Structure 1
Amino acid sequence: MAFFQLLLSFFSKALLILSVFLFIAFLIYCLYVKYIHMKYDHIPGPPRESFFFGHTPTLLKTMNNGLVHDKFLEWSETYGPVYRINALHYVSVCVTCPEATKEIMMSPKYPKDKFVYNRLFYLFGERFFGNGLITAQNHEVWYKQRRIMDPAFSSLYLRGLMGIFNERAEKLMDKLVEVADNNTEVNMLHLVNCVTLDVIAKVAFGMDLDLLTNSSPFPKAIAICLKGMMYYVRDMMFQFKPKNRRFVKEVKEACHLLRKTGAQVIQERKTAMQNGEDVPKDILTQIIKTAATECITQEDEEFMLDNFVTLFIAGQETTANQLSFCIMELGRQPEILEKLRNEVDEVIGMKQNVSYDDLGKLTYLSQVLKETLRLYPTAPGTNRQIDEDMVIDGVHIPGGVGCMFSTYVTGRMEKFFNDPLKFDPDRFHPDAPKPYYCYYPFALGPRSCLGQNFAQMEAKVVMAMLLQRFEITLVPGQTFDIEDTGTLRPKSGVVCTIKHRKNKD
């Protein structure tokens, strides 16, 4: 009995000591948060809703009821070209100042923001983007990967992909012929998602998915990963809430599926190359060949897998969403649609395929696609790290802070674009003044998107064929709202009726 009393006394004292320790730790943390507030509170910004969680509750409520990027736009117009956001002891500054945008994004001196991109290394404990092209913060680590990847996205190599672009777009046209003949409604977002995933799987990794006729777990896995990424970055407590356990499990399983598939594809290709077999002259082969000339470590092997996931997702989702938004806007803009159709008829005529030379002649289509990305940037922003003190628009910014740039916000500000909510492709006419560091749907500088030329070539081929052959009408009653699923997409899915074009000649 005395032994149990002694044991109870020991645990009581231990619990008391632990409680005191935790209280002191909590008090120290409170003081640290207060110190951070004092250090950065001279920067303009909206009132914090919570001492600890800062602006996080406001942003989460906005996410549940609308588009968080509209809140960033509201704050930018209210608090000026640089303002502050707090979350626990973290601070980010949101910047719309073109001069600061140029200074920070065009220089390798400013790495990717540690807080944001560390969260993308893993998703709920499962390796996701890892240390690939999007997330690598160390310039040397990133540059080594970019040097390996660059040849696979050269203009000479991309020119050779036109056959695959045309082939996969043709499969979409065949599907739309069925829709038109059956006089049924169709979700265009779903269809172009299938096409763009088909394209990136084929041209990058030699995978024949044929998603317009076959089922596959990949589209759902990508969507779940992106949605999980959005919550994982913006809500640090998301994974600890019991109601989210099932979704977190689905995200981890989807992430594991993508990486497992990537590992199999890479290993099979390497084995085939080592055995002297004929292999597709695709991006994966180019990457493996180029990597063979480098000193490849085990971590480099992980980088290749990281970049498989990066290309598989980024090379598909954003292009599909851009195409969907473009179709949505053309359905509301008959004059622009008519002008665009005339250009396509003049350049493409009755040809079955779109040639590489045709792409350069489709100048108005280029303007339409650029204007689509101004209003609906599918990747709405990027983040950098400011490690040293600097001054932005007269505001002193102490070093050690993340910096957020949003092309969604700047693209919808009156100070940069007259009548910003109007869809006007003439903003991007070759003779029009170019936007000064307020339009960057593919980011800017050395960390700009490697695949932007690839994406726009693909988008042009699909849109040109679509306009050449079909009349597309939006089904009445659907919403034109934007949905944030990690990337921006049309919430309605862009439901349309399809008819064959008449009197094309």
Structure 2
Amino acid sequence: MELVASGLWEYWLFLFLSGPLLAFGFYCAYVHYVHLRYDHIPGPPRTSFLFGHLSYLKRQTKDSGKIRQDVFLEWAKEYGPFVRINVLHRASVLITNPQLVKVFLMSSQYKKDPFIYSKLQNFFGKRFLGRGLVSELDHELWQRQRRILDPAFHRSYLMSSMGAINEKVEQMMEILEAKADGKTEVCMEDMISSTIYAISVKVLFGMELKALADEQKSFLLAVRNIVEGFTMAENPFSKFSLGKRKLINKAQESIRLLRQMGKEWIKYRREAIQNNQEFPPDVIMQMLKREAEEGINDEFLVDNFVTFLIAGFDTTSSQVLLALMELQRYPKIIERLRAEVNEVIGSKKIIEYQDLGRLQYLSQVLKEILRLYPPAFGTTRWLEKDTVVDGILIPGCTSLLFSTYVMGRMEKYFEDPLTFNPDRFSPEAFQPNFTYFPFSLGPRSCIGQYFSQMNAKVMMAKLFQRLEIQMVPGHSFGIVDSVTLKPKNGLVCTIKPWKS
């Protein structure tokens, strides 16, 4: 009996150990198969059979202070318009050919990468953006949403939102002017983010915040928790780390908070409409008007509430912060910018919609910021079938990467690309096509890009009209990749009144 028991124990131990080993062997074989399918495409040598380029990318971002897009830029310069990138068992292809940017982004034939956007739909097991406008992959369903939401971003409605934009930026200016003694340190990230958030919730959802500081704290903290979660999730093994469990829980709770906020506000708006209360044609109004005929359910409404809540403020606030940081290096550009603001705006506090079109040099400054520091680096497209592109076979089921950050910093497209030069976007300057796409291109370009730039223009015009902003000594000009591109240390400054 003892011999039998011993044999059974050894048998079960063998099964216990051989199962994982067999699975690992199959996984290694699959990784090898992936390598065979893609190794004809130019790309850097893999630093690891299993991890591909992942360890190299992490080492470069940690040790050299680069962001991942900087590494992609180096590879694009060395290997050409097609660069193979391996991470574990997935291979992606970075494309920096303008004509191919046109082919893949201007057509509705190619959808976004389902692997990447599924993380936006559901994050750490929680419904996040769901099937909202940004994360919806099915083109027909996306097109229906776009058609419903387009009126909320029509020029006539955006013109009517200038009052709300002026009001919220003036509240920010009052706070900043009270601190404008040249000594008090101010975190501009908090001020800019809070203001853009207040504008977004009022214009897009009709939500009125009583104060810039207090009522945003829970929202801004929730967004930061989610951003930290996304940053951590770039490591595919992070979710298995016990030490990261607290951060995952915070991200999950933050998602729950944002979605609950959406549910409560949608419920309020629906009841108010039933009681014949009138509202402007904002995002929620457009969806509620069409919910019966389009079969819209509450989860869809919340998906878009969270989508626009985050997208409506994050990229715009990042753009303004990056502009304020970068302009610290260029006093002559600031001088020219102030001269234009003084000519167009003068001393008036209310900026009109017509003024925005006359702020040509400010437009050039903001475009140049988006070229050099695009808050959203680019986009992806999914290639379903084997396709020969410019003589190179790209296997089916491949993610194609398109980076406006990378192409915006390539000498073949922009002369002296690392120099900040707003004149490259002057009306008479030559601008290469399909090399600059901070809001994407084609049918899936950003629906809110004009609203975003209205906010940025009003805010920048008022800041340079009335204040002198100076980064504190020793403050870094570094940038950080935390979902969107941002100044590394939040942009801490001192402020003085501007005296012309």
The reply to whether residue 77 of structure 1 matches residue 77 of structure 2 is yes
Q: Counterpart of 2:478?
A: 481
The one of 23, 34, 37 equivalent to 1:25 is 23
Match of 1:173 in 2: 173
1:58 aligns with 2:56: yes
Local SS of the residue matching 1:316: helix
Alpha-carbon distance change, 477 to 21 in structure 1, aligned in 2, over 3 angstroms: closer
Residue in structure 2 matched with residue 157 of structure 1 by the alignment: 157
Partner of 1:449: 446
1:138-187 superposed Cα distances (whole Å, 9 cap, x missing partner): 11121121111111111111111000000001011101110114741212
Count of residues paired in the alignment: 497
**Equivalent residue, structure 1, for 2:87:** 87
The answer for the alignment partner of 1:41 in structure 2 is 39
Distance 1:48 1:182 in 2: 51
Amino acid at match of 2:453: Q
Residues in 2 aligned to 1:117 and 1:231: alpha-carbon distance in whole angstroms? 17
AA at the equivalent of 1:398: P
Map of 1:346 onto structure 2 = 343
Q: Indicate whether 1:106 and 2:103 are aligned.
A: no
* Deviation for aligned residue 1:311: 0.8
Question: Match for 2:244: what amino acid?
Answer: N
**Structure 1 counterpart of 2:321:** 324
**TM score, norm. by length of structure 2:** 0.95
Quickly say closer, same or farther: Cα 1:158–1:292, change in 2 above 3 A. Answer: farther
Q: Distance in 1 between matches of 2:14 and 2:252?
A: 38
Distance apart, 1:77 and its partner CA: 1.3
SS at match of 2:75: helix
Match in the other structure for 1:148: 148
Rate the CA distance shift 1:410–1:372 in 2: closer, same or farther, 3 A. same
**What is the match of residue 118 of structure 2?**
118
CA–CA distance in 2 between the matches of 1:127 and 1:236?
19
1:448 CA displacement: 0.8
2: distance between equivalents of 1:15 and 1:45? 43
2:182 touches 2:494 (CA, 8 Å); kept in 1?
no
Give the aligned partner of residue 254 of structure 2. Answer: 254
The alpha-carbon deviation at position 104 of structure 1 amounts to 0.5
Equivalent position amino acid for 1:307 in 2: N
Deviations along 1:87-118, one digit per CA (max 9) or x if unpaired, are 22211101111111111011111100122111
Q: Displacement, 1:499?
A: 1.7
Q: How does 1:320-399 map to 2 (within 5 A)?
A: 320-399=317-396
Which whole-Å CA distance do the structure 1 matches of 2:349 and 2:480 have between them? Answer: 35
What residue is the counterpart of 2:397 in the other structure?
400
CA contact (8 A) 2:182 2:496 kept: no
- 1:44 is displaced (CA, Å) by 1.0
8 Å contact from structure 1 (residues 204, 284) kept in 2 = yes
Letter matched to residue 412 of structure 1: R
Is the Cα–Cα contact under 8 Å of residues 442 and 449 in structure 1 kept in the other structure?
Answer: yes
Question: Counterpart of 2:53 in structure 1: which amino acid?
Answer: H
2:194 touches 2:213 (CA, 8 Å); kept in 1? Answer: no
Sequence identity percentage: 47
TM-fit CA distance, 1:472:
1.9
Distance change >3 Å, CA 192–CA 392, structure 1 → 2 = same
Point out the more displaced range, 366-375 or 262-271.
262-271
Structure 1 residue 392, shift from structure 2 partner: 3.6
CA–CA separation in structure 1 for the residues paired with 2:378 and 2:186: 30
Query: What residue ranges of structure 2 are gaps of 5+ in the alignment?
Result: none
Distance (Å, rounded) in 1 between the aligned partners of 2:5 and 2:423: 80
3-state SS of paired residue (2:83): strand
Q: Is the 8 A contact 1:81 1:393 kept in 2?
A: no
Amino acid in the other structure paired with 2:173: M
Cα distance in 1 for partners of 2:224, 2:413 equals 33
Deviation at residue 407 of structure 1 after TM alignment:
1.0
Deviation at 1:290, TM superposition (A): 3.3
In structure 2, relative to structure 1, the CA distance for the partners of 1:190 and 1:19 (3 Å cut) is same
Deviations 1:164-211, CA, capped at 9 Å, x for gaps: 000001011101110114741212222101100111111112223355
Relative to structure 1, is the Cα distance of residues 199 and 49 closer, same or farther in structure 2, using a 3 angstrom cutoff? same
> 8 Å contact 1:203–1:282 — kept in the other structure?
yes
Q: Is the 8 A contact 1:175 1:212 kept in 2?
A: no
C-alpha distance 410-29 of structure 1, shift in aligned 2 (>3 A): same
Q: Give the CA deviation at 1:394.
A: 3.3
| One-letter identity of the residue aligned with 2:494 | T
Of stretches 337-346 and 175-184 in structure 1, the one that deviates more from structure 2 is 175-184
Report deviation, 1:496: 2.1
CA contact (8 A) 1:188 1:496 kept: yes
Return the letter of the residue paired with 2:100.
A
- For the residues of structure 2 that align with 1:474 and 1:393, how far apart are their CA atoms? 47
Unaligned runs of 5+ in 1: none
**1:205 and 2:205 aligned:** yes
Q: Runs (4+) of structure 1 moved beyond 4 Å?
A: 4-12
Q: Distance in 2 between matches of 1:303 and 1:63?
A: 37
What do the CA deviations read for 1:265-305 (whole angstroms, capped 9, x no partner)?
11221122123234455322233213344233x4xx32221
Amino acid paired to 1:479: S
Displacement of 1:26: 2.8
Cα distance between partner residues in 1 of 2:135 and 2:269: 25
| Secondary structure of the corresponding residue to residue 110 of structure 1 | coil
Q: Which moved more, 1:72-81 or 1:491-500?
A: 491-500
**Aligned 8 A contact 2:356 2:457 in 1:** yes
The counterpart of 1:426, out of the listed 377, 399, 423, is 423
* Corresponding residue of 2:263: 263
Letter in 2 for 1:363: Q
Structure 2: distance between partners of 1:171 and 1:5:
84
Give, in whole Å, the separation in 1 of the partners of 2:10 and 2:254. 45
Which amino acid is the alignment partner of residue 128 of structure 1?
F
AA aligned to 1:243 is G
SS for the counterpart of 1:91 is: strand
Q: Deviations over 1:418-441 (max 9, x none)?
A: 111111001110111223211111
Distance 2:493 2:360 in 1: 26
Q: Which amino acid aligns with 1:207?
A: M
Which one-letter code corresponds to 2:36 in the other structure? M
Distance 1:295 1:303, change over 3 A: closer
RMSD over aligned Cα, in angstroms?
A: 2.0
**Equivalent in the alignment of 1:225:** 226
Name the counterpart of 1:135: 135
Secondary structure of 1:180 counterpart? coil
Confirm or deny: 8 A CA contact 2:157 2:281 kept in the other structure: no
